[in-house]
Chains A and B, each alone.
Chain A
Amino acid sequence: MGMTMTQKILAAHCGKDTLTAGDMIMANVDLVLGNDVTTPVAINEFNKSGCDCVFHKDKIAMVLDHFTPNKDIKSAEHSKQVREFAAEKEITNFFDVGEMGVEHALLPEKGLVVCGDLVIGADSHTCTYGALGAFSTGVGSTDMAAGMATGKVWLKVPSAIKFNLTGSLRKNVSGKDVILTIIGQIGVDGALYRSMEFTGDGVANLTIDDRLCICNMAIEAGAKNGIFPVDDVTLDYVKEHSTKTPVVYAADADAEYDQVIEIDLAKIEPVVAFPHLPENVKTFSEIGDIKIDQVVIGSCTNGRLSDFVAAAKIMEGKKIAKGIRVMIIPATQKIYMDCLKLGLIEQFIEAGCAVSTPTCGPCLGGHMGILAKGERCVATTNRNFVGRMGDPKSEVYLASPETAAACALTGKITSPDTI
């Protein structure tokens, strides 16, 4: 029996010729990632275990992105702990304020992940890198500590759902609408413990940013990982950003899937996920008049250059609605600079938006735009759980940058098609 793309990458990382779903393996990792929330817990575990050196100083990445630039004394202590550990262990890929960006936007940009890699990260959205044909998955802090000490991770080999993509996206629709539509269809546990493998002719019509956004939210369907096949678009991206050598794996023709789901990209419409689960997805024909208080455009899901280009296009020459706040948060310094060069920052500020240095900030209710009781926010982020962006009685609506920009102009939940 053949293997899925994910199973092939896992087999190559544990020295086996074949693997079957359900096998327990100890796999070698190419990169271990942590942030300012999860790394302190990992460092404590690492120290408690009596280890004194890390398995490989170039194969660990630490990004201070969640509560940074530090929002309070406690988070400053966390950043300090990570900074000191990174210095002591001579971690090559440590990113502090000034060079850091939201981790899952930063790592591909810095070329730290390439096709065929096995990446674990103490952050659930580590699944983002499947867009580059890598196996990447979120783990906890203890896994991060064990990964730093041994260069290994225990994994249960997943089965997979195959998503056969055909056609291409219409105007005002992007990767975010694709993944939200899929989660609306299969539910927040629709891919629990499994891989989401995207294939089909439609893949060629998706940009790397679309693919990163789609894989980013695989965890929102409960998946272990999301993964795209490697094509010229991937190889060009990797060549431009990395000096590492990509290794290309492809699913066997006779690979077994739990389920095959057909997705016609041309039929996907702009959608919004209503509170308080990413599966509460509605199209605009099902949405009435909903007033909002805030818009956030940013995060590891939609904080990339193409996201701001798309939002700026919708907002071009217009002002945001009176009475609402709009946060623009480029996910990395490079994205910020590129936005500057394209004149987008000026355009956003003239429209009435606030522009921030890279940070996770409001995405997890950290800082830079926390909601009061009863307030509503349309965000390009990935989670709309109770209390995610502030008060437990506030509401988060998930949407694409195009839709979020349309909402910013009207102060209501608005389809980009109507602008």
Chain B
Amino acid sequence: MSITGTVIKYQDNVDTDVIIPARYLNTADPKELAKHCMEDLDKDFVTKVKAGDIMVAGNNFGCGSSREHAPIAIKESGIACIIAKSFARIFYRNAINIGLPIIEVDTDIADGDEIEVDFAAGTIVNKTQNKSYEFKPFPPFLQNIISAGGLLNSLKEEGATNA
């Protein structure tokens, strides 16, 4: 599977409090959450983001709280994939568990670049800069969760739940 999109770029240590401030955690509705996505870091995000855009960041993306509201808000806002140098661990598992692809790789992708991501091959082509980058594809275990559309679906397929 591959996707092509425009990059919205952020820095290191983007924390879950700026992705979705706690003052909005009194709702679990993805549409409501998406309205405030990135608000405290970049209040223009919600107006500029288009379906299929790709978010790129530095180290430790998603650090802070365990709120699944953070990847939910990003996914609902239309972002198709997040690429960062590293992710905070709870954000990493939450994104996978809700079926939002995330890639850990160090690149020089810039804001506004057009990039194409091939998940199975583990390659990113930067069409704007005429460059390419490689990343380690997900191990099969995590690939199953993502392709099933999230953790509970994959457990259900395995018959691990009582459903």
Contact = CB atoms under 8 A, between A and B. Distances in A.
Given A38-B67, A74-B27, A189 B94 contact: no
B162 A51 contact: yes
A5 interface: no
B59 A140 contact: no
A365 to B, nearest CB: 5
B163 A192 contact: no
A149 B67 contact: no
Interface string B68-92: 1101100000000000001011100
Interface in B9-41: 13, 15, 17-18, 21-23, 25-28, 40-41
Given A122-B66, A124-B90, A365-B23, A385 B17 contact: yes
Interface residues of B, number: 45
Interface stretch (B45-53, B107-115, B118-126, B145-153): B145-153
Interface residues of A, number: 56
Nearest to A158: B89
B141 A154 contact: yes
Given A123-B66, A140-B68, A192-B86, A366 B22 contact: yes
A48 interface: yes
A335 to B, nearest CB: 23
Nearest to B26: A74
Contacts of B153: 49
A243 interface: no
Given A24-B141, A37-B25, A74-B26, A387 B17 contact: yes
Contact of A78 (B28, B97, B163): B28
Interface in A361-419: 364-366, 383, 385-388, 392
Contact of A51 (B21, B25, B60, B161): B161
A188 interface: yes
B67 A388 contact: no
20 contacts: A37-B25, A37-B69, A38-B66, A41-B68, A50-B156, A53-B162, A74-B27, A75-B26, A121-B66, A124-B64, A124-B90, A139-B93, A141-B68, A142-B150, A143-B93, A149-B163, A150-B161, A219-B90, A388-B22, A392-B21
Given A49-B155, A142-B152, 11 more contacts: A41-B68, A49-B153, A49-B163, A124-B66, A139-B66, A143-B151, A149-B161, A189-B63, A189-B88, A386-B15, A386-B41
Interface of B: 13, 15, 17-18, 21-23, 25-28, 40-41, 59-60, 63-69, 71-72, 86, 88-90, 93-94, 97-98, 139, 141, 145, 150-153, 155-156, 160-163
